[in-house]
Amino acid sequence: MLTRRQTLAAAMAAPVAVPLAAPRLARAQQGQPYVVGTLFPMAGPNAEYGGVFTAGVQMALDHIAADRMLGRPVELRAQDSQGTPQGGATGMTKLASVDRANYVLVGFTGVSKAAAPIAARAKVPMVNGGGVGPDLAGLSPYFWNVIPLVNLEVRALLPWLGRSGLKKIALIYVDDPFGNAILAELRRGLPEVGASLVGTFSVPPGSQQFAAVAAKVRDAGADAVYFASYGAQQSQIIKQLRDNGVSQQLLTYSGATLASVAALPEAEGLVFTRQAADWSSDDPVTKRFVTDWRAKHGGDPGSYHQNYYNGTRLFALLAQGLEKQNRPVDGDGLRAELLRVREFAFVGGKASFDDQGCVTMPIEVNKLQGGQYVRLS
């Protein structure tokens, strides 16, 4: 379990992406390095995500290098997506045409949707460990997800809601494809557990003022409030709801597993979904990851650290398989190897990929309680 202080320390310790340097002689002997690109928000209101994502990537690269998994070194090249579709398109163009990336890690639904066509034309696999919009499934043959998408998170929450006695749900959601997907999933699923939406309140991406929304929520007579947002906006929603007299149970998805959210006193009692993670597991991949993470960062890892470690490890496993077969490590080869192998040893256990490149992993319901994440179901 994760204390607020540990979570904050881990996120603040997240390093900036840097190349994994290799001696010139080694490069000459082993050939040109593979290039793994990142397309994360590194500045602005969503920069916290970029640091967290990069920390997971960096630890995976350290392990890949230590294990000599590949016949060529790996370099990390970063482009700032700014957390926007325009930034995603610009960054992906640079990664494909200038950095010549073999493989790119990406986050955020809007960024992914803007960048995916560019990656597909260049046949560069993109792997998402942060964006959770359901429309990321099947986005492109070269776009894969190592994170369960948010429709699956909502479905995992519904049975708990049915048992909790929370029947009237208000929803605050960002007016974009991600937020609208959660709205649609709640409309579909709540009646199945004897609950309903009693108010839906859309907010613009980037908005930081929620007093008026809080007043509408108070008038809705809800038992609980689900908020579907991301980045710095989440903390403001939580704080301003509480400051404006909304005392009902707060609900959300895995996007809230950030140090800035966990550190908020107003976030006490927050219930959220995320992919399951047992940091006490004896599984060798998980055990090594957790042990080294604690030694380096002084606390437990989070889900995003896990996802981007796995996304980076996936490249090494696929490239290793292709090298053993004396096949080119290119987009077509990596995709064929993914579909051939399907199941991989990841942090958290075995992960299976379907035909659309989407991972299947268990999801749990957690509560932020006394500075710790407590599993509810």
Q: Are residues 141 and 162 in the same domain?
A: no
* Best CA proximity match to 358, nearest among 143, 181, 62: 143
On whether the CB atoms of residues 310 and 59 are closer than 8 A, the answer is no
Q: How many domains does the chain have?
A: 2
pLDDT of residue 81: 96
> For the residues of 6-67, what is the DSSP string, one character each?
HHHHHHHTPPPP------HHHHHHH-SPEEEEEEE--SSTTHHHHHHHHHHHHHHHHHHHHH
Average per-residue pLDDT in the chain? Answer: 89
Confidence of residue 177 (pLDDT cuts 50, 70, 90): confident
Q: Are residues 295 and 197 in the same domain?
A: no
The per-residue pLDDT for range 330-373, each reduced to its tens digit, is 999 999 999 999 999 999 888 899 999 998 778 899 999 887 78
The per-residue pLDDT for range 258-295, each reduced to its tens digit, is 888 888 999 999 999 988 878 999 999 999 999 999 99
CATH code of the domain in which 332 resides = 3.40.50.2300
Q: Are residues 58 and 194 in the same domain?
A: no
On whether the CB atoms of residues 298 and 13 are closer than 8 A, the answer is yes
Decide if pLDDT at 72 tops 70.
yes
Supply the range of the domain harboring residue 336: 4-148+280-361
Q: Are residues 28 and 136 in the same domain?
A: yes
On whether the CB atoms of residues 130 and 304 are closer than 8 A, the answer is yes
- Which tokens in the block code for residue 263? 């550190």
- β-strands 168-174, 343-346 pairing: unpaired
On whether the CB atoms of residues 86 and 270 are closer than 8 A, the answer is no
Give strand ranges (E) for the chain.
34-40, 74-80, 103-106, 126-128, 143-145, 168-174, 196-203, 224-228, 249-252, 271-275, 343-346, 349-353, 359-360, 363-369, 372-375
Q: Are residues 243 and 167 in the same domain?
A: yes
pLDDT of residue 19: 41
Q: Are residues 188 and 105 in the same domain?
A: no
Q: Are residues 141 and 168 in the same domain?
A: no
